[in-house]
Structure 1
Amino acid sequence: MATEHEGTFEVDGKSLYTKSWLPENGEPKAKLIFIHGYSDHVNRYNAMFRWLAGRGIAVHGFDQRGWGRSVTKPAEKGLTGPTSRVLADIAAFIKPHLPPAAPAHPPVFVMGHSMGGGEALTLASHADYQDDVVRHVRGWVLESPFIGFTPEETPGALKVFGARLVGRFMPNRQMYNKLAASSMSRDPAVVKSIEEDELMHDTGTLEGLASLLDRTTALATGVARPGSAVRSLWVGHGDNDKVTNYHTSKKYFEQCLGDVPDKHFKTYEGWYHQLHNDGPQTEEFYKDVAEWILARAGEESAQSKL
């Protein structure tokens, strides 16, 4: 069970929606900061976060600029800003949760799904955030990270060129970019809920979509890769993911994480994109995430007592 709290946090003149899922009894064993995916919002992860809180993991998430309940008018849909703005928002949300020098505070983990997984990995690789954010994060959890497109979702070169050209002059111009709900999950009830969710507006801006493509390219080509400040990293990806490319994630894990001493990749055979919402077996994913986090949180606790 979990105690849930809604709120807001202010960053660069914008108020963003936040939500926390806290263990009902006692201090948390770990904190998990969550970053959602494209056209998504944190309340779509309620079941997983309640489950994690019931195991002693406090979860803190926010609807990113341009998404979910952080949108207050139609013109704000997809208005994320460039990658520098996206990373600054995420870092601003993480920093208050980072443990102080005192070792008794629970360690902090960062998790991202899909686009949020690519953003988490970009943050973990960015030179500007190594000292004040990355080295204070105990571990990084990536669910179906957006490192590459599947063949079905890869945009045509002409479309990309045209959008980038127009985006130079009209960066805030909105563009509808629908992802098929049936590609997200094998659970018909989840597919139906996605189709009926008015907060999932599937609208990006030309600047935001171009920045998303740039982040993905930097990851897929190995230009962006975590350095020595990243201690632990876990990746989970379904090999039947129809949205983000499983094989690109696997290749990145094998070729670009050489400086990460503690890393693990798990293949979920036959699973779709939303591992947290992929039918009756999805609790297996919850358990994998919780066990990985709690094992490292336990190591931190043991070291603090020495």
Structure 2
Amino acid sequence: MSDALRDAMQRWLAHLRGLEGASEQTILAYGSDLRGFLTFLHVYQGESLGVARLARLSTADMRAWMAHERGRGLSARSLARALSSVKSFVRWLSDREGFDATAPLSVRPPRFQRKLPRPLAEDAAVAMIAQVDLQAQDPWVAARDVAVLTLLYGCGLRISEALSLTGADLPLGDSLRIMGKGRKERMVPLLPAARAAVESYLRLCPYPVAADLPLFRGKRGGALNGRLIAKAMEQARMALGLPATATPHAMRHSFATHLLSAGGDLRAIQELLGHASLATTQVYTAVDQARLMEVYRAAHPRR
């Protein structure tokens, strides 16, 4: 790889990190995808790589790489993500170097069946929170876990978003300001039940609350690790006989699915979840339709 291309790659990753607010996990994935593509291209062409070579990328180059990736067992879903990474870099590079990237950007990703979210039933979501409240030995730990799960289910937060709350978010009002993926800010309504759960936890928490400290704490006072919430749910789902899909993220799925089932507007749910694209939110319509068909098949008198 030429120095110019290596420098371009680093500047692109810095662009993703700084201007687009991509997470470090996303940066690592994009960098890995691009390096894999460039390694293939070097071996495939048998020549050193520079910006000029990428300016000559053809659909044949892209298809040869995709065929190679599928041949070594990469799933269609993973290949689609890798293709998205490569296209992102080529688009960024073409804008700065002034070449026509129509050919590589026109290559279509492989089709794959999107996995539907696996929400809990309404009574199961409520039972999950109640079970977590019963199983912790320390009352303040039980209150903490209940508060976190209530935020996930009652406000549709990601576990990372709930655990990123600090003392600066207090006192709680009718809404929460959440910094989501890509450093995108959104306001979510705070249900009275969620506010009460957090306030109950704060009354019992043995550690002081400060604006620069995390709201949810571990037993030793440090920031709460999300894995502890996952373990609490794992214990609870075994007691309740729920499937392994009953995870913290399933509580967020349940929030969206239950709102949609109750007649919630898809655009409003998109805003509440912090999805950049409506297409991401639309997957919940498929979940709702699947549930409806299950009810239909079970209840129709001519089944």
The structure number with the bigger radius of gyration is 2
Instruction: Give the structure with the higher percent helix.
Output: 2
TM-score range, shorter chain: under 0.3
Instruction: Give the structure with the higher percent strand.
Output: 1
The normalised TM-score by structure 2 is 0.25
